[in-house]
Chain A
Amino acid sequence: MIQKAKNETTDPSEWQPRIVAFLCNWCSYAGADLAGMSRLAYPAAIKIVRVPCSGRVDPMFVIKSFEQGADLVLVSGCHPGDCHYTSGNYHARRKLLAFRELMTFFGIDPRRFKISWVSAAEGAKWSNLVKEITDEVKALGPFETYSEILTGETGP
């Protein structure tokens, strides 16, 4: 059953953005872990979903995340050439970039779907990245297009 996000109040000042981040276990997830270990603070708005490799992310997960109320989806993997499974990130790169073009074509805001490479040692990069994304999504505000679909109001 699909529920609307249970935020008590919906006015933007109280509004907390919800970001879904698919992090590859060997690089980005380890980078995030390092950031934690290095006591680097970053906004909690981000919900991390650990996947074995960025190649595991089926672009339909992005649609699924939006349907679940995500305001922004991030997929982060190893730098090309560093993939623990050799070529996972290369396949991800092709599928995800093509999918983002498809979203754009449908009119879904591409800025709400980010892709990044974060290595296991880039704890600092990870925390900066999350800060940037959170600021951007705050600027973008809640993901109206999808929330309308969910609440039944249909477009024209």
Chain B
Amino acid sequence: MRTLRKNYSEAADQWEALQTSSVPVLYVGAATCGRAAGAGEVIERLQTEIRDRQIAAQVVEVGCLGLCCLEPLVVVHKPGSPQVCYGRVDTDRIVHILDRYVLGDDPCAEWALGTMTPGEVDSIGKFSEHPMMTGQVRHVLRNCGVIDPKDMSHYLARDGYRGFMKALELGPDKTLKEVKKAGLRGRGGAGFPTWQKWQFCRTASGEPKYVICNADEGDPGAFMDRSIMEGDPYSVLEGMAIGAYVIGAESGYIYVRGEYPLAIRNLSIAIEQSRALGLLGDNILDSGFSFDLEIVRGAGAFVCGEETALIASVQGDIGSPRQRPPYPAQAGLWGKPTNINNVETWSNVPAIILRGGKQFSGIGTKQSKGTKVFSLVGKVRNTGLVEVPMGTTMREIVYDIGGGPQKKRTFKAVQSGGPSGGCIPAPLLDLPIDFDKLQEAGAMMGSGGLIVMDDHTCMVDVAKYFLAFLVDESCGKCTACREGVAQMHNILVRICQGEGRDGDIELLEQLGTYVKDTSLCQLGGTAPNPVLSTLRYFRDEYEAHIHDKTCRAGVCKSLVRFAIDPDTCKGCGLCVRDCPTDAISGEKKEPHHIDADLCVQCGVCYEDCPFDAVLVE
């Protein structure tokens, strides 16, 4: 069996050259979220500066480190000193850093987030001790934002594909045993033991077999898979190769959302490079194992996250699920045995094989092993990618890493699992991240979206939002989901318009259990979760909406009347400027007044008032 020894040594030299470059190297986080924050302009400005002023420096575009609130991120590595990571680097700030630190030796500590590599820079702490990073253990994201996603040698230099080659040596049975020992469970949301899923497909009769990567990631506000694919596509390919080797599949598909063009590009480049090195294609490394991959673009349907709908979509049919059994492991793509895993699941596999299942199972709780990547969003200070070991409590994520609710807001709940998930109220914040524990609390690990909500979030409105999403995304095949979810949404719309009636809550519960019980696929099966869990923990808000016709969070327009508390209003006039319909009047420094007729309840004053003088009646 060929071992690519030459490639590895070349890669190592290349990586070493980069680390010990005689010229300063600037790593710019150029993933989708980085570019959205302006990374593209920063890179442009940097290159023009270097060219015009003939500065000896090198720019490397890398994936995303995951600290969304601090984007764009630039890591500067001057020869002889450790890498320093800077946050919120816009086009001006990059010039400053260039002049003062790259050319000079002022490390601009005020913008620095921390040093990435060992070594000291005065008045700059360690990046790993940054509040967002302290609780994190980065295994899946270890390469994201570090390596150049378009350059395979970086990946190889950091033990890329060694797991795969070890698997080839171990043979399928031993490799499977390692995955079993690791206790890896599906990161797509259901948490089904991965080794067992592979075992089903492996023993199913029928040739050829297929492996699929479910990169549909339809949950609103979830972007973990995107970051992995954009930052470290090779880990997915390697993981799939190992899985295919164990299962005995010779071809695989990566089903990527149409809305992730950058991920698709990076994956395609990774596939091309892997094929060039003979790590994909026929008789890989003369091992007799052949495997190749193809990318299939999703057509923008959330339902295609469900495995049978995904398979239908890959086959070219309308993406709508079918009744199971038979499960995909027996009869999936073109009726042949098929194994589907989530992006994060696949990218965990190489490390498990390389370092052994035991080392992986060392992290996490008794039932849920390894780390989980969350996308922490919503009303929290530090939004971004969070990879924590299983067992970390929700409080640590929201408060320690997330920095707690925003200024002057009180935490209300965190929604976990997107449209199929449930909400976790403050009293349950000490709930550890664990498949089964979350299940018991009516929530669900889901793909990893964590949406933090504070007192200005109306839970009924959140439930209505998720139902509205599901009404659009339901494939419409089975009565329960098509009609049930639509009717639940109608009820919530009525409640939010102040036309709630007695019995609506009971009807919602009844409908909820019916839809969960009778729907054909898991989309319908989990659709009522947002409503049922908000009902479970925030029944009072529903009662308020129905009986008192008020929405304390000030969100449901038709139930809200804003008024200014004369005691607290300082008359600063901020709200007068922002009010779109000039409904607020009053003298400077005197308590102001809202004219109820003109007010359209947009809530801008309520949000912006520095003194919280605006009250909700």
Q: Do chains A and B touch in the complex (CB under 8 A)?
A: no
A residues lining the B interface (CB < 8 Å)? none
